Amino acid sequence: MKVYKFGGASVKDADGIRNLKQIVSEQKGDLVVVVSAMGKTTNALERVVNALWLREYEQVEREWQSINNYHQSVCRELNISLPLEMPETDVSSQSYDELYDQVVSWGEIFSTRIVSRYLSLVGVDNEWKDMTELLLTDDTFRQAHVDIAVSGRRWRKAIMSAEIGTHLWITQGFIGGTNDGRRTTLGREGSDYSAALLANMLHADSVTIWKDVPGVLTADPRKDRSATLIKELDYSDATRLAESGAQIIHKKTIEPLIEKDIPLYVKPFANPQAAGTVIHSTKQRLLTQVNWGK
């Protein structure tokens, strides 16, 4: 079993989703694919939440239309049709944070529906799984805590009871659900963490995060053009880097991997054959010079 994670940038348009298809169909064994919301959808959905909260319904409508148009145009390009309805929201009976999670989680639900439907259309069998039902969390909306024991049992059961021949599952990063079925989120940029948790629960052989950079670099390539690729990192160095504010991986990602000694690969989705970076237990600190200030 392997876990792949595709962030928003790697599924931001139809080409990205076709590329995802290429990458996942080259993997022959069991594979769980964790997908984020497309492009900047989460930010757009945050604007919907704010407008809803302020009861600025015209603004809600405008934001929603543009999110809808974006997703529909990707669907059209991929030749799939999916009704994208706005989630039902009851502003008066929910706290801001609860409302936030009900609305913002929509981004991951739809990106994964689109990916799953497209893969089926082009003959890549897969099962779509809803983290709302599988990843049990408490009700700390926007920063929910995951019950790893229960979620692990649910996931293992879901995989064992899949139809014979199924070896590909498509699911959402970032989101989970409470015992009474309300959606929760794990904190912004939390999809890496979701992928690591899944790998831990399923005793995966490895996790691969597919990104729009060659791997982990010595500095932010947008600010420093001399940034070079770091081929190998110890878990402890990766944690240090993530905590220093480097936008490489979410800082909670490493912990669940250390526990089961699962290597994490960070690879460029535009060049899947490239080695990228491997983060694992090296028993020594490899990192000497980095420049990833906040």
Q: Can you give the binding site for ligand ASP, defined by CB under 6 A?
A: 7-8, 36-37, 42, 107, 173-174, 188-191
CB of 186 to Mg ion, least distance (A): 12
As a whole number of Å, the CA-based R_g of the chain is: 19
Q: How far is the CB of 45 from ligand ASP (least distance, A)?
A: 9
User: What interhelical angle do 41-53 and 106-121 show, nearest 10?
Assistant: 140
209 within 8 A of 238, measured Cβ to Cβ: no
- Shortest approach of Mg ion to residue 195 CB, angstroms? 13
User: Residue 247 carries which DSSP code?
Assistant: B
Give whichever of 36 and 184 is closer to Mg ion, judged by the CB atom: 36
Q: Does 36 bind Mg ion (CB under 5 A)?
A: yes
Q: For ligand ASP, which is the closer residue by CB, 12 or 218?
A: 12
Token representation of residue 132: 């709302």
Q: In the complex with Mg ion, which residue's Cβ is closer, 240 or 250?
A: 250
Quote the CA–CA distance of 27 and 29 in Å, as a whole number: 6
* Nearest distance, CB of residue 267 and ligand ASP, angstroms: 17
Cβ proximity to Mg ion: between 47 and 153 the closer is 47
Q: Is 107 in the site for Mg ion (CB under 5 A)?
A: no
Q: How many residues bind Mg ion (CB under 5 A)?
A: 2
Partner that binds at residue 107, options ligand ASP, Mg ion, none, CB closer than 5 to 8 Å by kind:
ligand ASP
- DSSP assignment of 84-152: -PPPP--GGGS-HHHHHHHHHTHHHHHHHHHHHHHHHHTT---EE--HHHHSBB-S-TTSPPB-HHHHH
Q: Pick between residue 191 and residue 277 the one whose CB is nearest to ligand ASP.
A: 191
Pick between residue 6 and residue 155 the one whose CB is nearest to ligand ASP.
6
Smaller CB separation from ligand ASP, 144 or 218: 144
Sole window of 1-9, 74-82, 89-97, 278-286 interacting with Mg ion (rule: CB under 5 A): 1-9
Taking alpha carbons only, the member of 223, 226, 217, 213 closest to residue 269 is 213
The entry of ligand ASP, Mg ion, none near residue 215 (CB within 5 to 8 angstroms by kind) is none
Cβ pair 173, 132 in contact under 8 A: no
Options 6, 8, 17, 210; binder of Mg ion; rule CB under 5 A: 8
- Whether the CB-CB separation of 101 and 183 falls below 8 Å is answered with yes
Residue 256, contacted partner among ligand ASP, Mg ion, none, CB below 5-8 A by kind: none
Inter-axis angle of helices 106-121 and 96-104, nearest 10: 10
Q: Which residue's Cβ has the minimum distance to ligand ASP?
A: 191
Shortest distance, position 46 Cβ to ligand ASP, whole Å? 9
Which does residue 174 touch among Mg ion, ligand ASP, none (CB within 5 to 8 A, set by kind)? ligand ASP
Buried residues in 217-252 as b, exposed as e (16+ CB within 10 A) = bbbbeeeeeebebbebbbbbbbbbbbeeebebbbbb
Cα 231 from Cα 142, distance rounded (Å): 34
The minimum distance between CB 8 and Mg ion, in angstroms, equals 4
Contacts with Mg ion, residue ranges (CB under 5 A): 8, 36
